Structure 1
Amino acid sequence: MQAFDLMVIGWLNQFSNMNLTFDKTLYVIADNHLLKGGVIMGLLWWVWMRNGPNFAAPGLHALRSIAGTLLAIVVARAMQNLLPGRLRPMQEPTLDFLQPFGDHPPGIVELSSFPSDHAVMFFALSTALFFAVRALGIAAYIWTTVVICFPRIYLGYHYPSDIIAGAVVGVLIMIPVMRMPLPSAIPNLLARVQLRHTGLVFAGIFLLTLQMATMFENSRRLLAGAAQVLGSKEAQVDRKSKGTVPPSFDAALD
């Protein structure tokens, strides 16, 4: 697989910096949540709403789609944390990778390259679409491959094997989630909850799918910001206990 990765990356990288417009376009696509999650999630919402607004409809496709995707992301993140870290092509010093025109988004270099969480999430969602409407699922697979994953290989965010592994994880987790038999009591319970709290259910699923469409970017920023604030507060308390914080600075923080 390493030979395959190097062959593909090497072949694609020969086109790097040859066309400013092409490189910049791929950066825009790679960093645009509307073109990535917006399209796939929009198709899923159409599937869920086409026969009426009912998340507790027989089959529970919406809830299975969400649960399968979240499970796949958890598995992928566990793999990133537990497996040996892998530098991205743009970070690998032995690869002599020529960075395309533009700047990579901040924070991307902090995570292991293997597997691609984009591939995990959007191949999982595409599989959910395939179970609902086969033609839409095939279109979603093509969109995910060409629009979401290809730019990430070209720009040096991932090796092809990162994408392939992510796709395998997403698909193999979503399939059993979609096929798993459920006791009739579960859809009945969900139907009652939806009937009693319709607005709350729809608002909650909307917010959750919005975060999924944006790769939980705002949630992660919020958590990172909260951790930063808490860390700053602890450092401030420590400095105060040592008498090293000037009164004006102390008042400004409080």
Structure 2
Amino acid sequence: MLRQIIDSFDSAILAFLTHGALHTATYGHAVSHVADFYLFKGVLPLAMLCAIWFDTRERRQWQWQRQMVVATVLSGVLALFIGRVLAHYLPFRQRPLYDSSLHLTFPIAATPEAVLRTWSSFPSDHAMLWSAVAMGIFLVSRWMGVLALLQCAFLICLPRVYLGLHYPSDVLAGIILGVGVTCVVTRKPIMERFAPAIVRLIDRYPNVSYAGLFVILFELATTFDEPRELAQSIFRHVLHG
């Protein structure tokens, strides 16, 4: 019964998007680029985290803000990892783009076809990652958090549904899981176990720490694409070598 409700919900949303007035070649081309640009996916929310990190207007809150930034980055990495684990171990779900039973036509996505066909659609790891980051921003700054959540919804999740990369339920599940991860990691008893120590380490060794943070934020913005491609290449070479 639940599966039928979810399928009906997904089909209705996809039919609306693909048969609506916005389903044009020009609009589809624009959306495909928005969905693929790292600027719209990860750079904007990570820039907000940097702004929070260096915001010294409230000195009494500064250390807590920095600890929240550390916890939010960790939440994003953890959410991305959980998303990939769930996609690997849960039953494989074909992406709408390749589901002929839907009888729908989607714009051509910029993501390589080999990736789309072999990675399960559920849950959306992009939705998990960036909703986790957006929630962390929201817990520190309401106005920036609202912007981050809107950016996640309209520049990350909605384009991926429009392009047939995910079902609506994929991104909704990803958002719920991502927000949940951040809410758990940023709880005071949990965050106090690691965040203050990391902040002290950064203060003690700023040069090395900021260089490392730059690499981590870069990989987070690109959803660790290159390390994942390298790992998959090594795995295929070992398996078939």
TM-score (norm 1): 0.82
Contact 1:88 1:157 in 2 (8 A): yes
The equivalent of 2:179 in structure 1 is 171
- Does structure 1 conserve the Cα–Cα contact (< 8 Å) formed by 2:106 and 2:162? no
Q: Determine the C-alpha separation between the residues in 2 that align with 1:128 and 1:204.
A: 21
1:194-217 deviation per Cα after TM superposition (whole angstroms, max 9, x unaligned): 244211111111111111111111
Aligned to 1:96: 103
Residues matched between the structures, number = 229
Say which is worse superposed, 37-46 or 186-195, in terms of deviation: 186-195
Work out the CA distance in 2 between the residues paired with 1:183 and 1:22.
43
Q: Does 1:6 align with 2:15?
A: no
Which digits, 9 at most, give the CA deviation of each residue in 1:90-145, with x for residues without a partner? 11121122122x34411122211011001001100000000110111111111111
How far apart are the structure 1 equivalents of 2:232 and 2:18?
A: 34
Gaps of 5+ in 1: 236-254
Q: Is the 2:80–2:126 Cα contact (8 Å) retained in structure 1?
A: no
Is the counterpart of residue 69 in structure 1 residue 76 in structure 2?
yes
Kept in 1: contact 2:109–2:163 (CA 8 A): no
1:201 maps to a residue whose letter is: S
Measure how far apart 1:40 and its partner are: 1.0
Q: Which residue of 2 aligns with 1:245?
A: none
Distance 1:17-1:193 versus aligned 2 partners, 3 A rule: closer
Contact 2:68 2:195 in 1 (8 A): no
Distance 2:93 2:192 in 1: 44
Say whether the 8 Å CA contact 1:116–1:158 is kept in structure 2: yes
Structure with max Cα Rg = 1
User: Partner letter of residue 152 of structure 1?
Assistant: R
Give the alignment partner of residue 94 of structure 2, picking from 87, 100, 115: 87
Which residue does the alignment assign to 1:119? 127
Amino acid aligned to 2:37: N
Q: CA deviation at 1:183?
A: 8.4
Alignment-derived partner of residue 30 in structure 2: 25
1:173/1:198 Cα in 2 relative to 1: closer, same or farther (>3 Å)? same
Aligned identity (percent) is 28
- The 1:112–1:51 alpha-carbon spacing in structure 2 relative to 1, beyond 3 Å, is same
Aligned-pair distance for 1:192? 4.5
Please name the residue that 1:35 is paired with. Answer: 40
Quick one: distance in 2 between partners of 1:183 and 1:147?
29
| Structure 1 letter corresponding to 2:82 | V
Q: Which residue of 2 aligns with 1:211?
A: 219
What's the offset of the Cα at 1:177? Answer: 1.2
Q: Secondary structure of 1:58's partner?
A: helix
Amino acid at match of 1:25: A
Shift of the 158–103 alpha-carbon distance from structure 1 to 2, 3 Å rule, reads closer
Q: Distance in 2 between matches of 1:166 and 1:16?
A: 27
Contact 1:16 1:98 in 2 (8 A): no
The amino acid across from 1:113 in the alignment is S
State the match for 2:3 in structure 1: none
Structure 1 match to 2:163: 155
Q: CA deviation at 1:73?
A: 1.8
Asked whether the equivalents of residues 40 and 125 of structure 1 are also in contact (C-alpha less than 8 Å), the reply is yes
> 58-67 or 150-159, which moves further after superposition?
58-67
1:135 counterpart = 2:143: yes
TM-score by length of 2: 0.86
